[in-house]
Amino acid sequence: MNGKSGSRKLEKSKRIGILGGMSYESTIKYYDLILQKYYEKFNDYNYPEIVIFSLNFQKVIDYELGDNKAKYIEYLIIGIRALENAGVSFILMAANSPHAVFEDLEDISKVPLISIVKSTAQYAKEKKMKKLLLTGIKFTMQSTFYQNHFKKLGMDVITPSIGEQNEIDKIIFDELVIGYFKQESKERLLQIINSYNVDGVILGCTELPLILNQRDVDVILLDTVELHTEAALKYYLSLK
């Protein structure tokens, strides 16, 4: 198919890297959103070149839950090195949980990494939020990387109760990561969210936006996938 006439000059030197597979559902969404956002902005076919390295999801889970930070970083770096060797200009990790070691990976990576946490925090700051509820897998909710960064910007991040965390974690791993969406699970997630008095809710798992959207609630939902891909496209367009 011929490209549209009058389209923008193709920038062959710029390439986006996606470290994915955590899970495949969210990785697909990342790819889709970046290209969708590009077309909406320019209405041409000069889409960004994108390279995806899909990790073994079970290995990621095992390293996260195994409390072996060195092995966890070592495995994530395998994917980052593969993307670097493929000539990417920068990298997004298509998941929230590996951002627990973002600074460690940033120090090792040869190309810039775009942070999902920083992208989300910037949006929350622009909306003048003060208190937010963090949802996601237990690893993310029980870590502190969201709380620490938001605190620097004058915002507090709280998490659901332990029992609610277990429920959310089960819905994510037993259903969402394999593309299974149950209405009763959606209703339970909404019950949990609506029980907290906050300015916004961080959908801190890249699968949660697959089942929840802003139409479902009155409180502002911070779709981390949406914000992360928006930041990635903005960074891509800033490259010379």
Could you state, in order of their start, the residue ranges of all structural domains in the chain? 15-115+227-238, 117-223
Structure tokens at 95: 């998941």
Domain 117-223 has CATH 3.40.50.1860: yes
**Peptide linkage before 23 cis (omega within 30 of 0):** yes
Per-residue pLDDT of the chain (240 residues), as tens digits, is: 445 544 445 445 799 999 999 988 899 999 999 999 999 999 999 999 999 999 999 999 999 988 889 999 999 999 999 999 999 999 999 999 999 999 999 999 999 999 999 999 999 999 999 999 999 999 999 999 999 999 999 999 999 999 999 999 999 999 999 999 999 999 999 999 999 999 999 999 989 999 999 999 999 999 999 999 999 999 999 998
Interatomic CA distance for residues 96 and 140, integer angstroms: 7
pLDDT for 88: 98
Nearest in space to 202 (alpha carbons), one of 221, 177, 225: 221
Kindly list the distances between the CA atom of residue 173 and the CA atoms of 15, 138, 169, in Å, as whole numbers in the listed order: 31, 10, 6
Structure tokens at 51: 């390279």
Edge-to-edge order in the sheet of strand 131-135: 156-158, 131-135, 200-203, 220-223
Q: What is the CATH class of 15-115+227-238? A: alpha beta
Core vs surface per residue 109-146: b (16+ CB within 10 A) or e: beeebbbbbbbbbebbeeeebeebbbbbbbbbbebebb
pLDDT for 6: 45
3-state SS string for 55-112? CCHHHHHHHHHCCCHHHHHHHHHHHHHHHHHCCCCEEEECCCHHHHHHHHHHHHCCCC
pLDDT for 68: 85
